[in-house]
Amino acid sequence: MFLETVDAAGRTVPGFGYLADRSRKPLDRLARSASIWERRIVVVATHWFIRHGDFADTLKNAAKLLTDKEDLIHKAVGWMLREVGKRHVAVLEAFLDEHCRVMPRTALRYAIELLPDEKRRAYLKGMPQS
């Protein structure tokens, strides 16, 4: 139940739009939090920015959280990367080219879900595409 609440809030709370023209430092603090829920919401919260064509915070926080020990964080990172790819596949592929070899398998699988089979297989083998 709590997980669904965190995910729904992160995607829909209009308050994250408040940061559109302001410092994103609150997101940095959440990304470093000891709380799994705060780390997860910082990733899911970037969905607001993704929907508005701004991928920078998603990519920055995804890179920071690649070494997180929690599978729920890996799922959120992969999910938001997949959302980036829905809007700009070249941005997703550039991220994957840089990080596919070190990404947790769960994050990678979520991120590549909508890519063509050949590219998915290559990324799973740790082979950048560019």
In the chain, what percentage of residues exceed pLDDT 90? 66
Which residue ranges make up each domain of the chain? Answer: 2-124
Q: Grade residue 2 by pLDDT with cuts at 50, 70 and 90.
A: very low
Q: Which residue has the higher pLDDT, 87 or 17?
A: 87
Higher pLDDT: 5 or 16? It is 16
Q: What is the mean pLDDT of residues 28-51?
A: 90
Confidence check: pLDDT of 9 > 90: no
pLDDT, tens digit, 9 for 90 and up, residues 55-82: 999 999 999 999 999 999 999 999 999 9
Average pLDDT, the chain: 87
Kindly list the distances between the CA atom of residue 58 and the CA atoms of 31, 48, 65, 95, 125, in Å, as whole numbers in the listed order: 11, 10, 10, 11, 24
User: Cα–Cα distance between 82 and 85 in angstroms, integer?
Assistant: 5
- One CATH from 3.20.20.80, 1.25.10.90, 1.10.10.10, 1.10.645.10 for 2-124: 1.25.10.90
- Average pLDDT estimate for 91-114: 97
In 3-state terms, what secondary structure has residue 125?
coil
Question: Which pLDDT band, with edges at 50, 70 and 90, does 12 fall under?
Answer: low
